[in-house]
Amino acid sequence: MWTSLAVLIVAALLTAGSGFWVLRAYRRAGGGTRSPIPALAACGAVALAALTTYLAIGRPELPDAPYAARLEALKSRDLTSLTFDEALAILHDRSRQDPSDPLAHLYSGELLLRMGRAQEAARAYDQALRRDPQLAEAMIGMARALVSIDGRVTPEALALFQQAGSLTADPTPWIYQAMAAMEAGDEAGARGFWGEALARMQPDDPRREMAARMASGAQ
């Protein structure tokens, strides 16, 4: 516990120290017209990122333990009780233990996308596809990440959705193909894609009502 507390204290001291040296260098350089606040904020951001990582794996309220032991403790917990950062730590460990496994990267991509970190998610999906080029879930994930990054169904994303659509019964690729057709002004094509998506949806799929309405041309 005391070592954990020391870690937090050292982090605070490092932040203060780095801020001091940034401010000192700024003053020695004459200051100029720029404010030192952005540089000081950057120091704080670095420390905050390090602290976030520590809190994801470290447990300040528990006695100190090696990283591996803390990781094993996380693995023994109910998955629903894990934070996204804790789950990412477990998946990272899994990918390290079995570098050929695409699923650790796939699930990391899903978590990162849920966290709004689309660029990182795209990299995780890319790693999954490098290990299994026919993994439809990774194709869909990569395409969704690209849509999130660009704000539209890009040609690259569309190609991935089309390829995934031929490999899985998941209606998601067809929904996005419908969206791409709508963006292109192809209403007839969009209705056809909505119909394909509807045909693949389970009876309890909450998207069925919307898909049925769009497939029929109703607004």
Q: Which two tokens stand for residue 200?
A: 């693949």
Measured distance CA(10)–CA(174) in Å, rounded: 52
Using a 10 angstrom Cβ sphere, with 0-12 exposed, 13-18 middle and 19 or more buried, the burial of residue 45 is exposed
Share of residues in the chain with pLDDT > 90 (%): 54
DSSP, collapsed to helix, strand or coil, labels residue 210 as helix
Are the beta carbons of 128 and 140 closer than 8 angstroms? no
Using a 10 angstrom Cβ sphere, with 0-12 exposed, 13-18 middle and 19 or more buried, the burial of residue 38 is exposed
Are the beta carbons of 53 and 43 closer than 8 angstroms? no
**How sure is the predictor about 93, in pLDDT bands with cuts at 50, 70 and 90?**
confident
Measured distance CA(214)–CA(211) in Å, rounded: 5
Q: Enter the pTM of the model.
A: 0.65
Residue in 88, 59, 53, 55 with CA at minimum distance from that of residue 73: 59
What are the pLDDT digits (tens) for 189-209?
999 999 999 999 999 999 999
pLDDT of residue 69: 57
Amino acid at 170: D
Alpha helix (H) residue ranges in the chain: 2-28, 37-57, 67-75, 84-97, 102-114, 118-131, 136-150, 155-165, 172-183, 187-200, 208-215
Phi, psi angle pair for 61, to nearest 5°: -85, -5
Q: Across residues 3-28, what is the average pLDDT?
A: 41
DSSP, collapsed to helix, strand or coil, labels residue 90 as helix
DSSP, collapsed to helix, strand or coil, labels residue 197 as helix
pLDDT of residue 86: 83
**How sure is the predictor about 219, in pLDDT bands with cuts at 50, 70 and 90?**
low
